[in-house]
Amino acid sequence: MIPESIDSPLPSQPALGDLATDVLREMITAGTFQPGQHLKESVLADALKVSRGPIRQALARLEVEGHVELRRHRGAFVSTLTRADVEEVHTLRGAIERLAASRACTRMQGKGFGEMDAVLEQMKGVDTTIDPEDAVLLDLQFHDIIYAYCDHSRVRRVWASIRGQVTVFLRARNASFPDFHEVGYIEHLELRDALALGDPQAAQDGIDKHISGAYERLKRLNLPDR
């Protein structure tokens, strides 16, 4: 039972902690903050014009998402990409995206594939000068469509929780291996065609082949183990 003393609705505006989380997450994934950089609560609070409370909440949430590392008596630091991070996110992404693709391939029909084709046209038109960040955005736009049509709310929530980390990994991949203009369109077209078969197993096989390429490239980087 709700106490009668609560006689006014909650505000529709997201809490300051939520807003601070969204802003800081975007800044981390966009590369505004560098790996290992110290995130000082007082500086962030002044910059966002909020108290330290929402900043503290945001940093705690970002630690759960893997973007931030909280060190006792030292504060918050932007997480550094490690081999363990890459392996864990890759295997988790593979598990949920195989499920998402196996469901989406029978649900996308004309509209979903039309959305994919629009992204593919943009990929087809890129050249050697494409910024790594723009390549990441196109890549994620394509995969967001799979999740949008998988009809599985819990899978979409898991994807949302790791999407920022996938963004960091894709940016590192594109910055170190600037070949998106050569393989981006072709590799995503192959995945699109696998989904178009409407066969869940073919869709899962297509995902396995597709995401393994980025993973193999990341494994070639000189990253710390942990």
Rounded to two decimals, what is the model's pTM? 0.78
The pLDDT tens digits for 131-182 are 888 999 999 999 999 999 999 999 999 999 899 888 888 888 888 888 999 9
How buried is 220 (Cβ within 10 angstroms: 0-12 exposed, 13-18 middle, 19+ buried)? exposed
pLDDT score at 200: 98
pLDDT score at 5: 47
Q: What are phi and psi of 147, to 5 degrees?
A: -70, -35
Domain 83-219: give its CATH superfamily: GntR ligand-binding domain-like (1.20.120.530)
Confirm whether 16-78 and 83-219 share one CATH topology: no
Please name every residue paired with 128 in a beta bridge, in sequence order, or none if there are none: none
The answer for residues whose C-beta is within 8 angstroms of residue 41's C-beta and 6 or more apart is 52, 55, 56, 59, 75, 76
Domain spanning 16-78, CATH class? mainly alpha
Locate the domains of the chain by residue range. Answer: 16-78, 83-219
